[in-house]
Amino acid sequence: KQILDFKPYTPGLTLEDIREEYGVERVIKLASNENPLGVSPVVQKVLGQKAAEVFRYPQNHSPRLAAALAERLGVEPDMVVVGNGSDEIIDMLYRVVAEPGRDNVVCYEHSFSMYRMCAKLCGVEYREIPREHGLGLPMEHLARAADEHTALVFLTSPDNPTGLAATADEIAKLSRALPEGALLVVDGAYAEFAEPQDIYEAAPRLAELDNLVLLRTFSKAYGLAGMRLGYGIMPAWLASYLRRARIPFTVNLPAEAAGLAALEDEVFLSETLRVVCEGRDYLGRELAALGCEVTPSQANFLMFRPPSDATVFFEGMLRRGIIVRHLKSFGLPDHIRVNMGTESENRAFVSACRELL
């Protein structure tokens, strides 16, 4: 009965869905915040080589990747947990620290659906507090909603779907204001796209704040969404709990190799950041000129409110072979989220906007 009542995760529409339904040849997908440049050529080469090794099990817990990440981040390897996407780290956190029927988790409305979904699946109360006026991050109110049974407090920064980011001071203040035992999970899935970068440096943050968990992913800036690779940086005691409780081998052998290669390919990362930042400025300007209310973004997407009906806008885009995200699924039926594509995809999106608005 509980499973029948459960609302599963709804992924964005796929290229195949749109090709079939609308009969369009060229489909442009700007709905799932994927990398506009595709997969790094360095990673592709490594993946080809790894094909011959997949008869072997991977090393459990991806120790080589955890060590490489730790070195870059300036933390100990036992503070890094590599997962099947950061989704898996979120799931593990719930299963390890939140006690069903007793504990609660705090987040705010219009946020990433996994936090709510895991709460439901784990039988944990989910406290969803209102956002600030203008859909801002309700930093002050998060701490007030937490109590002695709060296991996790989620903050997405840069935030999905608004693109707004918290400051280092705000995060530190929130961490210190939480009751004893509550962990602050800062989901930085889009951290690479933010300015300034220093607030995402793990080592000083974790040294200063002992209840902090940072989540990162290879799905966005590193172009590996389909490999399913993410990681959490957290106090060593917590990381050891996660490693103890996890299902073996959830990160497969090619995924670990792809992650290691992606970290080395700095050219691909910097080109990604250039294309995304230029695209963000361009789309922000054009959408505002067309009368859209655009939220300033630190991520690889923009949230906006079109001057006319968002459902009509969304469907008009689909008919033109462009998939964006209608934020109805986030409880924001008047808003649209679009991620930055290549220059030519961005131009195609803007010309479709001009026709529709």
Which of residues 86 and 286 has its CB atom nearest to ligand PMP in the complex? Answer: 86
Rule CB under 6 A: choose which of 40, 150, 157, 160 binds ligand PMP: 160
Residue 87 in contact with ligand PMP, rule: CB under 6 A = yes
Give the integer Cα–Cα distance in Å for 179 and 149: 9
Q: Is 58 in the site for ligand PMP (CB under 6 A)?
A: no
Q: How far is the CB of 355 from ligand PMP (least distance, A)?
A: 29
Closest residue to ligand PMP in the complex (CB)? 85
Considering only 36, 77, 85, 259, the residue that binds ligand PMP (CB under 6 A) is: 85
Paired tokens of 40:
């790094």
Pairing of strands 183-187, 212-217: parallel
CB 300 within 8 A of CB 326: no
Tell me if 222 contacts ligand PMP by CB under 6 A. no
Q: Which of 91, 187, 192, 265 binds ligand PMP (CB under 6 A)?
A: 187
Instruction: Give yes or no for residue 86 binding ligand PMP (CB under 6 A).
Output: yes
Minimum Å gap between C-beta 87 and ligand PMP is 4
Tally the C-alpha atoms within 13 A of residue 79's C-alpha that lie toward its C-beta: 22
| Separation of alpha carbons 37 and 240, rounded Å | 36
The residue from 62, 219, 250, 272 that contacts ligand PMP (CB under 6 A) is 219
Site string for ligand PMP, 110-129 (x = CB under 6 A): --x-----------------
Binding characters for ligand PMP, 228-267, by CB under 6 A (x = yes)? --x-------------------------------------
The b/e string for 252-267 (b: 16+ C-beta within 10 A; e otherwise) is bbbbbbbbbbbbebee
Max Cα separation, the chain? Answer: 56
3-state secondary structure string across 263-303: HHCHHHHHHHHHHHHHHHHHHHHHHHHCCCEECCCCCCEEE
Nearest distance, CB of residue 212 and ligand PMP, angstroms: 16
Beta bridge partners of 230: 83, 217
- By CB under 6 A, residue 225 contacts ligand PMP: yes
Name the residue type at position 151: A
Choices 64-72, 169-177, 201-209, 217-225 (CB under 6 A): range interacting with ligand PMP: 217-225
Contact between 189 and ligand PMP per CB under 6 A = yes
> How far apart, in whole angstroms, are the C-alpha atoms of residue 291 and residue 159?
23
Q: Which residue has the tokens 């997405």?
A: 156
Site of tokens 């961005």: 346
What number of chain residues touch ligand PMP (CB under 6 A)?
12
Q: Does 339 bind ligand PMP (CB under 6 A)?
A: no
Smallest distance, ligand PMP to C-beta of residue 116, A: 12
- Distance between CA atoms of residues 99 and 91, nearest Å: 13
150 binds ligand PMP (CB under 6 A): no
Residues that bind ligand PMP (CB under 6 A): 85-87, 112, 156, 160, 187, 189, 217, 219, 225, 230
